[in-house]
Structure 1
Amino acid sequence: MPYSALLDDAVNGRAVCYEGYAHSRFLTAAELGTLDACLHEGWQRGLHVFICADYEFGLPLADLPGRADARLALHWFKHKRETDAASWLAAHCPQNAPAGISAPQSDTPQTAYIQAVHDIQAAIARGDTYQINYTTRLHLTAYGHPAELYRRLRQPVPYGACACLPDVHGKPRWILCFSPELFLDISSDGLIRTEPMKGTAPILNDGLDGQRARSLQADPKNRAENVMIVDLLRNDLGKIARTGRVRVPEPFKVSRFGSVWQMTSLIEAEAKPQTRAADIFRAAFPCGSITGAPKRMSMQIIGQTETAPRGLYTGSIGFLEPCEGGLGFRGTLNVVIRTLELSPLSDGLYHGVYGVGSGIVADSEAQAEYTECQWKARFLNRLQPEFGIFETLHAQHKQCTLLHLHAGRLKQSAAALNLPCPDHPEAHIRAYLNTLPDNGAFRVKAELTASSGLTFSHAPLDGGPPLPKVCLAETVLPAHDYLRRFKTTRREIYDTGWRQAERQGAFDSLFFNRDGFLLEGGRSNVFVKTGNEWHTPALDLDILNGVMRQAVLADPERYLGAATVRESRITRAMLRDAGEIRLSNALRGVFAVDLAK
């Protein structure tokens, strides 16, 4: 996908898209003084700017050591237009292509988080600071198109963004931002507004949400925390405001943003004439709501306490554009919170990082702060796939010889696709096997879905030998497809393949990818003997690691009469010239087949 960006106000149903990428300019903190010249140069060429500022860009602005890769990025586009967010996302998302995530994993265990809170409170007790916004990061793997993932995660917030942009190294990255927080709104008359958030409560739809909102607004701890940050931001804006022209017209307002209540306070400042964009960034960036108070010492403590750089998280995204009057420019910049950043790993596969944090003060309860972070990440943690996974077991005499492999794969697949799974799936499967008749063989299906959990069904298994032929599937599959690694309920292509094979008197159809390499059958893995060596398609081709395949690789002498099996890239010629072909699946074991002519 070409570089593009969407600013999405899902509260008011407004969106603006940036398309026709021209170039990017990355400024260090030392180059901030050139910002206004860079902006005017781009505007004079008729271009539109989309701005991304890393949190660490603000360190040198506070006279703290910076990071070499921290930048204020100016991404320039030829076209900017109002749009409908849903239509824009639909136009950028492949049809019927799923997108999702693995189960998010925190980089900070709960015990380490609680210890960090205690360390921060010790600094507060020493008088080093009044408040620290302490953050951690969740890591995950994302699959599918990021625009579809944004569509699935989209929240009713005013400062969302979905963007594919180059980073400072020229590598593409996706930004899926669901921020409810305003950093700066600069109007055409020179009025600057900011609306820091301090104070959070969950929305649980249990009939008590209104009470939680009122309790949040009246809570002394949250109001005190809010006041600290309001004073900090008033001071920041006071550096560029007319004397006596900073005010707080809406303190302690509680509003709903997605799955949480948030307390905000609106601050307004009338900027001095000739205030430049660089002056505003130098005075106010990063937003004090995500540092703590006082700002410089809080940022220093953050650097000592947090285990990883924040990057864009808690920085800012937005735009500036020229206008008549006022400061000569206007625009809106958010605070980058509730944001998933995606870096490509391979086709359709991304490494994702999601930051989450809360404000720590002297009377904060560490466990409550940890729980608040879970609320803020709940919409991400609860993103489950729109399909299920399943295992097909061979059961006889209430037993399944490959049960431990089935249970292990079910649990691993559930974690990889963010599906809730029982802690001990093997015990659940055993309990179901115990309900089967003593005699006969059965095909047992264990299916796991977000809506129904782990469910079971069974049917008698035909005891006849499998058809001794295999054919080639007509459909050629993509070079990579992450979901092929899992036995999902989205198996239309595979089911069509083996059914077509049966109509031709064969057991299965074998699929190749666009690079010409053998993958697997519609219901089997494949082993090919060339010369004296056995080969099977490698897992990095994105194939299902069948439980019978795992058993064969663990004991090739038993199943193939061979010492080893090589995981390889098998071509059509290798398959055609093979001395022997064997298929494997959990129901039928391992058996020889001939390639149908």
Structure 2
Amino acid sequence: MKSLERPYFVVLDDAQTKRCRYYQNWVGLDTITADQLHQIDGLLRQGWDKSWHVVLWQSYDFGVDVMFGDHEHAMYLLWFERCDVVDEADESLPWRAVQDHAGIVDLCNTTEQEDYLRHIAEIHAAIGRGDVYQINYTTAWTGTAYGEPVALYQRLRERQQVPYGVLAHVPPEVNGGAAWHLGFSPELFLQLQDDGTMLTKPMKGTAPILQDGLDEARAHALQNDAKNRAENVMIVDLLRNDLGKLATVGGVAVPQAFEVNAFGSVWQMTSTVTATMRPETKVADILQAAFPCGSITGAPKRMAMQVIADLEQRKRGMYTGSIGYLEPCDGGLGFEGVWNVIIRSLSLTQQQNSPHYDLNMGIGSGIVIDSVAEDEWDECLWKARFVQQLPSAIGLMETMLVEDGVCALLDWHKQRLHHSSKALSVPVNVEQVWQDLQDACVQKYAQGRFRVKCEVLPNGEVVWTDAPLIPLQGKQRVCVSEVVLPIQDVLRRHKTTQRHVLDSVWQAAMVQDCFDGLLFNQAGYLLEGGRSNVFVQMADGRVYTPSLDLDILNGVMRQAVLHNPAQYGFEHGVQESACIDWVMLQDAAHIYMSNALRGLMEVDLLDSFDITQKHIV
């Protein structure tokens, strides 16, 4: 076993019964490749003899190895000294103690709709040839998660109440490099009971929940839809076959079929398959016979997995794998427990040089011969909606100059707010915002110069404030801030209400009689000011401004200058650069700052900064 390097935990979360299994006091892990699967029962007994508690962690790719006899990937036994079964309100649970702004930026499907439709056509061709009856085809989604992962889990948990949720902080190597797993699975893979009965509930058939008064009708239609029932039956038959390899003669049954339940934003159809296991059945036998779950492969399983590999052209990782637990018992097989099917789940990997996380998740659906490709695409969007439409945890803002009833930079403000509201999922009616501003320009701002601030709260509510804009006196100065920012931070690309660091920079600059403070990152490159962008003109006339690749705000005045440099005195254009350092700044012939209120103005550099004094935030 690997020695303890840092604390880890796993919460197996049943939001429907409101009970959790909370695993703490990590002691190590066992690594098992497919060719070593026969060792798992012995390893389990060794851990149980020490009164340890185990969480089993199995990727889909490990299942591929089990199916095809490879040993490239592993499953893991995660061992803990302590397992508490607690109520969801228990104050010891990780998400109960964290208060943090957490959310998702730039979530997107990595497969374009055109490619998706083409792949469905290829699946239909494979079904037409008789290669398969059904394929569970999936796509990968990516994005950036900000804030504490446990806080993000709590927010998503409110939207996706499921029986087989998982919140886990684990060694990254067991989770494809991702230290965090946020799981919201509604699907049971296997339940092993203390009397030797095994139960599975394959999930096939989906309809949206839209809160429009027609949801019950959709549930009824789903339950009686011939296509979805046929899809469900195919997978039920596959799992009956898998469990039949382990069951007593005549021991497999389907006590319940075509049950429809609500899980988050969708209705799901499930059927229940049970099997009375042969007394000599081992854990290795169960995994060899049944993993991965047939509901996320298709039928027949082996050929379906080959088709999946050809179409998806990626490793699925933990997505469509399984997480569960086993514990010893006196009856039945000598052990009992539960495994889920990993769907509706997120993996979070800490970004290098950034406070945020790379987010990955998969979404898929079962494809049969009468599946309509466009409908399947829509179904995937329904399934992703609990994440895709998670409201932002932070608001947006635009600060505008209105002079004599006209906002000259209105189009740039409008484009930026539209882009940011989509990226951060802020549910604001952008067109209504601008209509309200135009009305105010006529009624309130027809004469004079005004600072008009539009703050959009996370829920989409808009708050307007304004004040007369007081002219600046004389040539302004700027200083270099002692605050040093991370190399990357995607939130810096948006003008959000989470501005305490930036506000502190320009406020500290004002104490030194400066207009703004210049910010550098940990690599030593110039970014922007606390409330303005920066342009640097060298002695040879060349003009540079920090590149957007540095994760800076694309200020509306910056955009205007780059759109027409000559209009602002830069006859030979402006070059974006990611490499403006302290020496280059000192050597500049001219330094300019820009923002929507003050336009573009030349400034003097207060040259009294010790570059070795840094305060990294």
Query: Partner residue of 1:108?
Result: 111
Q: Distance between the aligned counterparts of 1:19 and 1:33, measured in 2? A: 27
Query: Partner residue of 1:351?
Result: 358
Q: Distance between the aligned counterparts of 1:563 and 1:116, measured in 2? A: 44
AA matched with 1:300: Q
Q: How far apart are 1:123 and its partner, in Å? A: 2.0
Per-residue Cα deviation, 1:218-250 (whole angstroms, up to 9, x for no partner): 222222221221111111111111111111112
Q: 2:265 aligns with which of 259, 263, 270?
A: 259
Q: Distance between the aligned counterparts of 1:180 and 1:270, measured in 2? A: 24
Query: Partner residue of 1:452?
Result: 460
CA contact (8 A) 2:204 2:268 kept: yes
Query: Partner residue of 1:314?
Result: 320
CA contact (8 A) 2:397 2:453 kept: yes
1:387 aligned onto 2:394:
yes
AA matched with 1:206: D
Q: Distance between the aligned counterparts of 1:276 and 1:303, measured in 2? A: 29
CA contact (8 A) 1:535 1:567 kept: no
Q: How far apart are 1:113 and its partner, in Å? A: 1.8
Per-residue Cα deviation, 1:301-333 (whole angstroms, up to 9, x for no partner): 222222322221111111112222221211110
1:371 aligned onto 2:378:
yes
1:36-115 alignment to 2 at 5 Å?
Answer: 36-63=41-68, 68=72, 70-85=73-88, 91=94, 96-115=99-118
Q: 1:592 aligns with which of 603, 607, 611?
A: 603
Query: Partner residue of 1:287?
Result: 293
Bigger Cα displacement from structure 2, 401-410 vs 246-255: 401-410
Q: How far apart are 1:142 and its partner, in Å? A: 1.5
* Pair 250,565 (structure 1): closer, same or farther in 2 beyond 3 Å: closer
1:300 aligned onto 2:310:
no
1:336-485 alignment to 2 at 5 Å?
Answer: 336-346=342-352, 347-396=354-403, 402-403=409-410, 405-419=412-426, 435=442, 439-449=447-457, 451-452=459-460, 459-465=467-473, 468=476, 482-485=490-493
AA matched with 2:392: P
Per-residue Cα deviation, 1:505-557 (whole angstroms, up to 9, x for no partner): 55446678899998654423457899999997786775534344566778599
* SS of match in other structure, 2:217: helix
Q: 2:23 aligns with which of 10, 18, 21?
A: 18
Q: 1:273 aligns with which of 279, 283, 306?
A: 279
* Pair 159,459 (structure 1): closer, same or farther in 2 beyond 3 Å: same
Q: Distance between the aligned counterparts of 2:497 and 2:106, measured in 1? A: 19
Q: Distance between the aligned counterparts of 2:401 and 2:508, measured in 1? A: 24
1:208 aligned onto 2:214:
yes
Q: How far apart are 1:94 and its partner, in Å? A: 8.0
Per-residue Cα deviation, 1:157-194 (whole angstroms, up to 9, x for no partner): 00000112222598443111100000001112211111
CA contact (8 A) 2:153 2:182 kept: yes
Query: Partner residue of 1:7?
Result: 12
CA contact (8 A) 2:98 2:150 kept: no
Unaligned 5+ residue runs, structure 1? none
TM-score w.r.t. the length of structure 1 is 0.86
1:239 aligned onto 2:245:
yes
Bigger Cα displacement from structure 2, 573-582 vs 465-474: 573-582
Q: Distance between the aligned counterparts of 2:26 and 2:331, measured in 1? A: 29
Q: How far apart are 1:395 and its partner, in Å? A: 3.9
Q: Distance between the aligned counterparts of 2:546 and 2:91, measured in 1? A: 39
Q: Aligned pairs, how many?
A: 594
CA contact (8 A) 2:164 2:187 kept: yes
Q: Distance between the aligned counterparts of 2:96 and 2:530, measured in 1? A: 27
Q: 1:558 aligns with which of 569, 577, 585?
A: 569
* Pair 553,11 (structure 1): closer, same or farther in 2 beyond 3 Å: same
Per-residue Cα deviation, 1:125-172 (whole angstroms, up to 9, x for no partner): 222222211111212122222111111111210000011222259844
CA contact (8 A) 2:545 2:575 kept: no
Q: Distance between the aligned counterparts of 2:496 and 2:210, measured in 1? A: 31
1:156 aligned onto 2:150:
no
Q: How far apart are 1:44 and its partner, in Å? A: 2.5
* SS of match in other structure, 2:342: coil
Q: How far apart are 1:499 and its partner, in Å? A: 5.4
Q: How far apart are 1:448 and its partner, in Å? A: 4.4
Bigger Cα displacement from structure 2, 389-398 vs 184-193: 389-398
Query: Partner residue of 1:140?
Result: 143
* SS of match in other structure, 1:161: strand
Per-residue Cα deviation, 1:444-499 (whole angstroms, up to 9, x for no partner): 43444553377866544223437845578798877875434421122345446655
Q: How far apart are 1:277 and its partner, in Å? A: 0.3
Q: Distance between the aligned counterparts of 2:573 and 2:230, measured in 1? A: 72
Bigger Cα displacement from structure 2, 530-539 vs 412-421: 530-539
* SS of match in other structure, 2:569: helix
Unaligned 5+ residue runs, structure 2? 1-5, 609-617
Q: How far apart are 1:376 and its partner, in Å? A: 0.9
Q: Distance between the aligned counterparts of 1:7 and 1:16, measured in 2? A: 5
Per-residue Cα deviation, 1:349-391 (whole angstroms, up to 9, x for no partner): 2221221111111222222222111111111110121222122
Percent identity for Structure 1 against Structure 2: 48
Q: Distance between the aligned counterparts of 1:420 and 1:375, measured in 2? A: 17
Q: Distance between the aligned counterparts of 1:135 and 1:518, measured in 2? A: 42
Q: How far apart are 1:275 and its partner, in Å? A: 0.8
Q: Distance between the aligned counterparts of 1:546 and 1:2, measured in 2? A: 42
* Pair 466,345 (structure 1): closer, same or farther in 2 beyond 3 Å: farther
* Pair 186,306 (structure 1): closer, same or farther in 2 beyond 3 Å: same
Q: Distance between the aligned counterparts of 2:245 and 2:268, measured in 1? A: 27
Q: Distance between the aligned counterparts of 2:254 and 2:176, measured in 1? A: 42
Query: Partner residue of 2:613?
Result: none
* Pair 459,336 (structure 1): closer, same or farther in 2 beyond 3 Å: same
Query: Partner residue of 2:233?
Result: 227
CA contact (8 A) 2:414 2:430 kept: no
Q: Distance between the aligned counterparts of 2:371 and 2:449, measured in 1? A: 60
CA contact (8 A) 1:485 1:542 kept: yes
AA matched with 1:279: D
Q: Distance between the aligned counterparts of 2:428 and 2:115, measured in 1? A: 26
Q: Distance between the aligned counterparts of 1:77 and 1:279, measured in 2? A: 24
CA contact (8 A) 1:538 1:569 kept: no
RMSD value over aligned CA atoms? 3.9
Per-residue Cα deviation, 1:240-297 (whole angstroms, up to 9, x for no partner): 1111111111222111111211111111111111211000001111111111122122
Q: Distance between the aligned counterparts of 2:224 and 2:538, measured in 1? A: 76
Q: Distance between the aligned counterparts of 2:496 and 2:34, measured in 1? A: 49
